[in-house]
Amino acid sequence: MEKYRIVFFGSPDFAIPPIEGLYENENLIAVVTQPDKPQGRGLKTLPCAVKKWALEKGIYVLDPQKIKGNVEFFKILKELAPDLIVVCAYGKILPKEVLEIPRFGCWNIHASLLPKYRGASPINWAILQGEKETGITIMLMDEGLDTGPILLQKKVSIEPEDNALTLAQKLSDLGKEAILEAIELHKKGLLKPIPQPEEGASYAPLLKKEDGFFTFKEPAWFIERKVRAFVPWPTAYTYIQGKILKVYKAKALESENNTPREILRINQEGILVGTSQGALLLIEVQPEGKKRMSAFEFACGKRLKPGDLLT
């Protein structure tokens, strides 16, 4: 069976398993990524994960500063004559001029069960909303934001201990499996586009720093979801004595007749704090200007004790 000529659009680590699958099974002729950006504490200008991977494989790479109205970029894509463009966490919306180039259209590997969680941050918002399952949608792209017809979907459970990092890894691996299956079905003439229903549609906007903020007046279960949803960024955080305290690991526990912000217990497990509903066990934290540490270490350093209020 013929191998499809594929141009892959992607940028972060999430896109690596899918691009590896395409490289191993199809004819990956070029990669389009985001331009190099300052990264890390030293703000060194470095390539994104997909560009680094592609350069190591000797694959032709394009990293345009902009796509909309970029006539030269459109010309190069047309000359490449791809059968298919596959998009996975690229970070920019593709204009009509790009969508019309490949013979079989542009397919997006989206990390939700569309029409739920259209947009930039579907993994984070699925955890925050308490979803029990999510998945991958292979979608035929149109000019809207994740509104195109569905080609194939695969589901995965969201476990109670999953955070945005662990769930992203599951979905990244599932994305590789899904795109290869979709291509095989397409070659056999068995892939039928299904329009997305508008009923049940929701939006997962780009994360902002303030999304991670919480107070102990919120329910413990909701704070725990924030902790899991916003790792590694923006991280769930609150203010203690006027300074930021980031929380990397926490667990909601049942508790009655407790006061929000009151420390109920301190031991090697962590700091148990009252909330508006239940109690929150702080397990791993990072005080402002310091390294990550166990909540027990933090409590010892601050000389906290049961009955104190975290203000």
Whether 296 and 179 share a structural domain: no
Whether 172 and 218 share a structural domain: no
Q: Over the stretch 240-299, which tens digit does the pLDDT of each residue have?
A: 989 999 999 999 999 877 899 999 999 999 999 999 999 999 999 999 999 999 999 999
253 is in an annotated binding site: no
Whether 124 and 13 share a structural domain: yes
> Residue 38: pLDDT above 80?
no
160 is in an annotated binding site: no
Whether 162 and 292 share a structural domain: no
Alpha-carbon torsion (242, 218, 227, 209), positive or negative: negative
Is position 124 within any domain?
yes
Q: Average pLDDT over the chain, rounded to whole?
A: 96
Q: How far apart are CA 265 and CA 77, in angstroms?
A: 61
Query: The domain that contains 88 carries what CATH number?
Result: 3.40.50.170
Query: The domain that contains 241 carries what CATH number?
Result: 3.10.25.10
Whether 116 and 227 share a structural domain: no
What's the domain range around 180? 5-187
Whether 114 and 236 share a structural domain: no
113 is in an annotated binding site: yes
* Number of structural domains the chain divides into: 2
- From 155, 187, 219, the end of a domain falls on 187
Whether 238 and 170 share a structural domain: no
Q: Grade residue 41 by pLDDT with cuts at 50, 70 and 90.
A: low
Q: How many helices (H) and strands (E) does the chain have?
A: 8, 15
28 is in an annotated binding site: no
Is position 161 within any domain?
yes
Q: How far apart are CA 204 and CA 138, in angstroms?
A: 17
Is position 310 within any domain?
no
pLDDT at residue 307, rounded to an integer: 94
Q: Over the stretch 182-210, which tens digit does the pLDDT of each residue have?
A: 999 999 999 999 999 989 999 999 999 99
